[in-house]
Structure 1
Amino acid sequence: MNDLESRIRTSFDRQSMMRTLGARLALIEPGRIAITAPILPTSLQQHGAGHAGLTFSIGDSAAGYAALTLMPEAAEVMTVEMKINLMSPATGDQLVAEGRVIRPGRRIMVVAADVWAETGKTRKHVAMLQGTMIPV
């Protein structure tokens, strides 16, 4: 495990929300992160689809950690603002959030994430997020 991966995993492991959701880091690259989370019975909305809160949580974290990969070693990151477009019900076995940096900056970073619902090899695009991160 390289220094970047170790740093991201250590930070991610401190997030009790991600543990509660069963979320896992699936990809760590400079400027890119993927997070998976099962669609658990405890994460459903009233119609039986994954709750938008689950979708937003892993999308926001994927985008934030993508930003963190490009920040100095001592930095941490927080969301300044985040917009979400929910495009389709989150039905399937798991969600995959793929975060990326759109524009790195010294004071703020523009980020985005796509969230997919997966069942086996079938993948459906359920949400897009765009936001701003700030180093703290």
Structure 2
Amino acid sequence: MTDFPPPDFSGRIARSFSKQAAMRLIGAELTRIEHGTVEIELPFDAKLTQQHGFLHAGIISAALDTACGYAAYSVIDADASILTIEFKVNLMSPGRGERFLFRGEVTKPGSNIIVADGRGYAISDGPAKLIASMTGTMMVVRGREDIAG
């Protein structure tokens, strides 16, 4: 991770996120972009639940992966991109809430491999409740026109 943000990293992330059909499909919004940290929020939608009415683990994983990926994207050069090569999710509590917050933060920056940690929270009337955590490994991709932005 550079000591200073890459030029226009916030705009690059917002433009890239707007191209994510999967995030659009689930109703996710990009709500915070900082150097090394990205947050995504998602309203509850019964269409995204499993058989018990909880937010599906696949939706939680996708949102955490996206938040971690964009956190990594915020610390690389403008001519590079990011692909997830591995992640592990711990589901700690049922995904029950009115809204959900997914935060990705760079843990270990690097020129080729970046590690990011994510946390997912359910938000209702009381304090936010931690429902999931993720550790993801991202690969920096350079020189590939088919993998840009």
TM class, shorter-length: over 0.9
Please give the residue correspondences for 1:123-134 in structure 2 after superposition, counting only pairs within 5 Å. 123-134=128-139
Q: Distance in 1 between matches of 2:124 and 2:43?
A: 10
Instruction: Give, as a single letter, the amino acid of the residue that structure 2 aligns with 1:20.
Output: L
Select the residue among 5, 12, 21 that pairs with 2:17: 12
* Mean Cα deviation higher: 17-26 or 2-11: 2-11
> What CA deviation, in whole Å up to 9, does each residue of 1:75-110 have, x standing for no partner?
111101000000000000111011000000011001
Please give the residue correspondences for 1:100-115 in structure 2 after superposition, counting only pairs within 5 Å. 100-115=105-120
Q: Distance in 2 between matches of 1:13 and 1:41?
A: 23
The count of residues paired between Structure 1 and Structure 2 equals 135
Tell me, yes or no, if structure 1 residue 76 matches structure 2 residue 81.
yes
Q: Distance in 1 between matches of 2:118 and 2:88?
A: 10
Select the residue among 93, 102, 105 that pairs with 1:97: 102
SS at match of 2:24: helix
* Offset of residue 120 of structure 1: 3.6
Instruction: Give, as a single letter, the amino acid of the residue that structure 2 aligns with 1:67.
Output: A
* Offset of residue 121 of structure 1: 4.6
Query: What is the TM-score normalised by the length of structure 2?
Result: 0.88
**Partner residue of 1:49?**
54
Q: Distance in 1 between matches of 2:65 and 2:33?
A: 15
Q: Percent identity?
A: 39
Select the residue among 92, 102, 110 that pairs with 1:87: 92
Instruction: Give, as a single letter, the amino acid of the residue that structure 1 aligns with 2:43.
Output: P
SS at match of 2:25: helix
Query: What is the TM-score normalised by the length of structure 1?
Result: 0.96
Q: Distance in 2 between matches of 1:94 and 1:54?
A: 13
Please give the residue correspondences for 1:112-123 in structure 2 after superposition, counting only pairs within 5 Å. 112-123=117-128
Q: Distance in 2 between matches of 1:83 and 1:106?
A: 22
Q: Distance in 2 between matches of 1:105 and 1:6?
A: 22
Structure 1 segments, 4+ long, off by >6 Å, are none
* Offset of residue 122 of structure 1: 2.9
